[in-house]
């Protein structure tokens, strides 16, 4: 609920600025505290007096005024629980996505570290401009919530995409952040991330291209949703939840088994090496001494299968599989073989998703072999959708 929350609204110079009066009214009706920041261009469409009357607060415009001796943008960042920019013009979107802070609102945006919603509104041609879309994608990748514009009749007299999203939709996006994100409260979720590294000698190893970004995104979103999170990773991350750093498959298996004992769910997003060298040289292997190097490999523990064998009633195990062909068939075969509750599968033959990318696209198959398609999006958004499907959030 928005009741008692401090909501900061930034208004830029678009004709849809007048619609924000209704958004302010909705927040105030539901007992939120609201302050408004306007750009100079926004003053051409709506007067500050209108918003001061609706909010009972001063409207902020000047970059260099002070509140309690703090710079204006820092004081407002401290006060606000969330920042909403609506309508957001192409100009302001471009500035924010490139770290430009040349007025009070963009300075706020640059410094703001809490939930941040952007609701664009502009002419169809501007919305479809390749550089505007690149900037939108940058913001999505960075974790900003974009309430995308709708199609319809625009003030410029044309029909198309670019109209400010319905005020109710913007309100719901804010309300969901405060109301809906704690659905994993009192649950412990163990997530694995990164690719394991199997030593050949002190300086060489067998590994893979996994960056750990998908596992990180899942852990972040589970934490935001209220879960106690343990991230078991081969990649170091500085997080507000527990991160256990491992290197090899055997090390990861030991940590997973220990943490899964009292967990509600395990999400195996790590790319675990199937094999490791039988013999690991204690000294660096010198190429001058050998023209051909043959490695004898032995199978690593199958962490996913082992956890499925020991899981207790009520525990959820989610496996991941990276496939280069026959994605759905191979994923369905794996879930039957492993015995897990869900399998998330993505196509590694595609260059625009998966390994090292900020984007992903996957299918999620449950043990009844029901298939759900998660369309291409940022890994952060895919992680949110994945968790909501696993925990059947809407039911």
List, by residue number, the catalytic residues: 156
**Cα separation of 384 and 369, whole Å?**
21
Q: Where are the beta strands (DSSP E) in 269-341?
A: 275-277, 297-299, 316-323
- Segments in the chain forming alpha helices (H): 20-29, 48-55, 72-79, 90-97, 104-111, 124-128, 130-141, 167-179, 213-224, 249-260, 303-310, 327-338, 379-390
Measure the CA angle with vertex 22, ends 16 and 24; round to 5°. 105
Under 8 Å between Cβ of 81 and 114 = yes
Determine how many CB atoms are found less than 10 A away from the CB of residue 4.
Answer: 11
- Residue 15 structure tokens: 């004709």
Under 8 Å between Cβ of 382 and 345 = no
- Residue 195 DSSP code: B
**Cα separation of 181 and 237, whole Å?**
22
- Residue 271 DSSP code: B
**Tokens 């005020």, located at residue:** 167
Under 8 Å between Cβ of 154 and 163 = yes
**Residue 314 burial class via C-beta count within 10 angstroms: exposed 0-12, middle 13-18, buried 19 and up:** exposed
Under 8 Å between Cβ of 323 and 330 = yes
- Residue 77 structure tokens: 């960042």
């Amino acid at each position: 609920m928005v009741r008692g929350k401090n909501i900061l609204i930034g208004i830029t110079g678009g004709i849809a600025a007048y619609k924000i009066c209704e958004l302010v009214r909705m927040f105030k009706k539901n007992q939120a505290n609201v302050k408004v920041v306007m750009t100079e261009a926004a003053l051409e469409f709506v007067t500050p007096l209108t918003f001061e009357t609706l909010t009972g607060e001063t409207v902020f415009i000047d970059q260099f005024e002070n509140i309690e001796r703090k710079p204006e943008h820092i004081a407002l960042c401290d006060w606000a629980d969330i920042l909403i920019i609506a309508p957001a013009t192409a100009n302001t979107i471009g500035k924010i996505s490139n770290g430009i802070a040349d007025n009070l609102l963009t300075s706020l945006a640059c410094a703001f570290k809490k939930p941040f919603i952007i609701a664009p509104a502009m002419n169809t041609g501007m919305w479809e401009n390749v550089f505007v879309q690149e900037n939108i994608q940058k913001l999505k990748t960075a974790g900003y919530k974009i309430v995308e514009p709708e199609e319809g009749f625009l003030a410029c007299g044309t029909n198309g995409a670019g109209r400010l999203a319905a005020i109710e939709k913007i309100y719901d996006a804010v309300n969901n952040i405060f109301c809906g994100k704690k659905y994993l409260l009192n649950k412990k979720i163990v997530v694995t991330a990164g690719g394991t590294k199997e030593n050949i000698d002190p300086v060489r190893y067998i590994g893979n291209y996994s960056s750990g970004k998908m596992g990180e995104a899942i852990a972040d979103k589970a934490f935001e949703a209220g879960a106690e999170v343990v991230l078991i990773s081969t990649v170091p991350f500085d997080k507000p939840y527990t991160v256990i750093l491992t290197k090899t498959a055997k090390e990861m298996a030991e940590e997973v088994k220990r943490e899964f004992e009292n967990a509600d769910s395990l999400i195996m997003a790590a790319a675990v090496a199937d094999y490791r060298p039988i013999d690991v040289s204690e000294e660096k292997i010198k190429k001058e001494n050998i023209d051909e190097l043959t490695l004898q490999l032995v199978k690593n523990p199958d962490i996913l299968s082992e956890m499925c064998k020991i899981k207790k009633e009520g525990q959820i195990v989610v496996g991941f599989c990276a496939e280069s062909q026959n994605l759905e068939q191979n994923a369905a075969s794996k879930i039957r073989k492993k015995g897990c509750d869900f399998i998330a599968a993505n196509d590694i033959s595609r260059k625009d998703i998966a390994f090292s990318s900020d984007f992903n696209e996957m299918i999620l198959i449950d043990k009844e072999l029901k298939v759900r398609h998660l369309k291409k999006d940022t890994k952060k958004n895919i992680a949110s959708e994945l968790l909501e499907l696993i925990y059947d959030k809407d039911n």
